[in-house]
A and B are shown apart, each in its own frame.
Chain A
Amino acid sequence: MTGRQLIMDFPVTATSHLLADYQARGGYQTLRKVLTTLKPEDVTKEVTAAGVLGHGGAAFPVGRKWAVVKLDDGQPHYLCANADEGEPGTFKDRWILEHAPHLLLESMLMTCYALQVRNCFVYIRGEFDQPYRRLQAAVEEAYAAGYFGENILGTGFACDIVVYRGAGSYVCGEASALITSIEGKKGYPRNRPPRLTVRGLYQRPTVINNVETLSNVAIIMRMGAEEFRKVGKPKSPGTQLVSISGHVNKPGVYEVEYGYPLAKFIYEDCGGVLAGRGLKCIIPGGISTKVMTAKDIEGVTYDHKSMEAAGSQVGSGGMVVIAEGTCMVRLLHVMLRFYHHESCGQCTPCREGMGWMHRIIERIVRGEGQPGDIDALVRISNANDGTTICGMGDAAGYATVGIIAKYRDEFEYYIANKRSKCEGRLEVETAHA
């Protein structure tokens, strides 16, 4: 096991995602308690005390985000659950949407109560089909059971929810692009200031939290902040759903308690690297986080502080395992192709930079690399760092700089010899493949 389980604490069966099963597990009991015995600010206080961090990638303290919304400002507030899980390698929210949709809904109801939100949204990525159908079915079940709509549980609290399907753009997972998309516009991120918690959806204070982050709210309210803090580490309370993929024997979604040894998780819980190969490196939390070599992960525990000390991040929990012999040049090529394709094209550094970097790496892979190309990639990455409207420009830069910093020799070899220093491929052949 990977530490204590808070979200994945029930066996998945054919009916475990349905309302009846969720209620049998004690679901919506906490909601009744919250609505009948607590004031909205008590919920915020409890969540703040729990110290839960955002699980979408930036690890922003949830309490601090919520605190910006003033309950008595006389204007509508909005809540959006960010289910636009587009970070490559990340598919943890999908598990919640498919198997515990009611946990998300109950949490959202509590959050709506805490922030006095009348209308909330789930922005779900267009490619999610099964998750969408499960979530939509859950919403309908919840409406039928009186958990949404007017006068919820006879308390006078009213809340409506809309599940909004995106069209599959990566950048729409960025909070401001997400709300621009909900507004029916092109999914362009917005400039800050103003922060979205000041002027967000329809120019009103809006809280946008990741699906997993929100799902923690019901758990916190059930356990109490004090109990919740006993799970994980003091600076990183709770657990993280990790979606692990790549050259790994047992890919999938695991719930990892913060502070769990990283190497143990990969080598033991996930069964180690495919085909008995050695571990080359991992991308720990979505491809926008810096790679960690096999040596880097030694002695590292899976929590924010330890991961940052090791030069990377927890990120979105989308872990990619890369086996010995994988060509990092081609890996970067795949990544940059993605960033180029997904750049929204609004601001100059990312619009021009992503295409530029993609064309350079493509040339290198074709065997037409030039000596200055590696420096050019690093320079473009740095020119994107902090100069763009949203974080996507930075993210592509981190990934590139991270890989080049650790595997510069492979790039130099590729340019000089017009072929990969490794086997030159990304796939690992296994016995039953």
Chain B
Amino acid sequence: MPDFFINGQPVHAEKGETVMQAALAAGFYIPYFCWHPYLSVAGNCRVCVVEVEGEGGGSSWSDIACNMPVSEGMRVLTDSESVREQRKQTLQFILLNHPVDCGICDKAGECMLQDHHYAYNGEPSISTVPKVKATKYVELSDRIVLDNERCIVCSRCVRFTREISKSHGLAIQNRGDHSLVRASEDGRFNTDPYSDNVVDICPVGALLSRQFLHKARVWYLQATPSVCPGCARGCTVNLWHRKREWKLNALDPRQNTEIARVTPLENPAVNGPWICNKGRDLGQVFGRPRALQPMLKGREVSPDEAAAAARALISESGRPVALVSSWGANEELTAFKQALGDRFTCFVKRDCLPAAGEVVEDELLIRADKNPNTATAQQLFGSAPLTFPDGTDLVLVWGEGFDFTAVPRGARLIVLGSYLAPENGHADVFVPISIQTERAGHYTNFAGVTSHFAPLFAKPRHVVHAEEFFARLTVTAGIA
């Protein structure tokens, strides 16, 4: 039984839904700026205007779809002559003093104003006088910068800080066309751990990330779905990196293998459309200096030699202990369990602990466990605290966050690590392993939701995938 009609087609609506929600769910597109599925209705951009045909020959009326409750049998037109005319006029208002500096705007290419303008207006500003100037660069926080000329005062960012992050860090100052988005004087926006989301939800290029400012045109970038390893929430994210066909050969080839920016990948089961600021800085986590060379006591060897040496140590050992990484993917952890789980006494290692000054845990997303896959690791290897049994003669350390002074005297050491560290050269066997951006896999978050991450870059030549490396150790371990 159809509830109402959009452009003559029957559409079902849930109770309490607005025309906007029902239309989007049914595959009809109504343009909008200020409306956001996860925020309250502000109804101030006026672009989502639709026409409702009058009943029984009555005259039709128009109103905004985002605030229009569906009523049984109503006939909504999303693209009628009068709707197009009103939309065009509203866009002319918005573009009246818009600087149209898309050429230097980070948002260009993914800007809702650009999209709507081309779809519904297409004409330059019809003002005949010079445009009103405004401040182009307002530092709202250490991370966010505001361009007042581009701002369309949709209040999405303000509502975000009130309804989602609850920092109340932003507000609109003044009134009329002097309205300005400003951060509160007490610096609450600066300490808002979710502040960068306002950059994503800004429908235009008004709020920009200072980190990403003028770093890349978005059409040179591509997004690879991944999982943020920053905490046990395991937010799904898009990791943006340079497209293969726009690879830089001359200017700065390092950019080809750098994460340009991180954005949330909407996932109602885990993180909604948000991520925290720490997740935005994944590029720094993965961009640390890498360990690229297998070593035996600091002597550079090939991966095969390292594997042989590790095999030998394991087969000689009487009582080997393994510290399993909680940053390992489900596949890697399972491979280790199958290959070496019986041979080693295994403990789960917390690779990362909360850093000084970091938000440890909150009600929105951030979890106290700063490792992505503790759930699977503990499921496979238990959650006993680390104690070295008497007679431990071999310690295998996989990943970071281990205090090497705790290694029992006389025990041999196998280290699998991704980043440069002083201990790498002291280990009997050091094997460089690939990082998350170089392999595919899955993490299971604290609530048991498993998410997939895909590789962005190729691994360096002598670096091995931990999963394959464990498999190579099996054969010998079994024979011995």
Interface residues of A (CB under 8 A from B): 169, 186, 191-193, 340-349, 351-356, 359, 363, 370, 372, 376, 383, 386-389
Contacts and interface: CB of A to CB of B under 8 A. Distances in A.
A191 B46 CA distance: 11
Contact of B172 (A186, A342, A343, A372): A186
16 contacts: A340-B177, A342-B175, A343-B177, A345-B178, A346-B155, A347-B46, A348-B45, A349-B90, A351-B93, A351-B179, A352-B177, A355-B177, A370-B128, A372-B128, A376-B126, A383-B93
B132 interface: yes
Contacts of A354: 176-177
Interface in B12-67: 41-47, 49, 62, 64, 67
A387 B86 contact: yes
A354 B177 CA distance: 8
B153 interface: yes
Instruction: Name the 10 nearest CB pairs between A and B, nearest first.
Output: A345-B179, A352-B93, A343-B176, A355-B177, A383-B89, A191-B43, A347-B44, A345-B176, A191-B67, A345-B175
Contacts of B340: none
B128 A388 contact: no
A347 B177 contact: no
A425 B458 CA distance: 77
B476 interface: no
B93 A386 contact: no
Contacts of A342: 175-176
Contact of A389 (B43, B69, B90): B43
Nearest to A344: B175
Given A349-B89, A383-B90, A387-B49, 6 more contacts: A169-B175, A349-B90, A352-B97, A372-B128, A383-B86, A383-B92
B67 A348 contact: no
A349 B97 CA distance: 13
A346 B41 CA distance: 13
B361 to A, nearest CB: 31
A349 B46 contact: yes
Interface residues of B, number: 35
Contacts of B153: 345-346, 348, 351
A314 B444 CA distance: 69
Contacts of B152: 348
Contacts of B127: 356
Interface of B is mostly: loop
B176 A353 contact: no
B94 interface: yes
B46 A355 contact: no
A347 B45 contact: yes
A386 B49 CA distance: 11
A85 B203 CA distance: 37
B442 to A, nearest CB: 44
A57 B353 CA distance: 64
Given A348-B46, A389-B43, A353 B174 contact: no
Contacts of B172: 186, 345
B87 to A, nearest CB: 10
B269 interface: no
B64 A191 contact: yes
A370 B89 CA distance: 21
Nearest to A379: B89
Contacts of A387: 46, 49, 86, 89-90
B129 interface: yes
B74 interface: no
B471 interface: no
Given A191-B64, A387-B49, A345 B174 contact: yes
Q: Which of A191, A352, A353 has the most CB of B within 10 A?
A: A352
Contacts of B177: 340, 343, 345, 351-352, 354-355
A430 to B, nearest CB: 36
Contact of A343 (B49, B69, B96, B175): B175
B89 to A, nearest CB: 4
Interface in B69-100: 69, 86, 89-90, 92-94, 96-97
A387 B153 CA distance: 17
Contacts of A351: 93, 153, 176-177, 179
Given A342-B176, A343-B175, A387-B86, A349 B93 contact: yes
A351 B69 CA distance: 26
Contacts of B132: 355
A169 B94 CA distance: 24
Contacts of A186: 172
Nearest to B67: A191
Nearest to B47: A348
Contacts of B94: 348, 352
Nearest to A386: B62
Contacts of A341: 176
B129 A340 contact: no
Given A186-B172, A351-B179, A346 B44 contact: yes
A362 to B, nearest CB: 10
A352 B155 CA distance: 15
A63 B10 CA distance: 38
Interface in B333-390: none
A354 B97 CA distance: 13
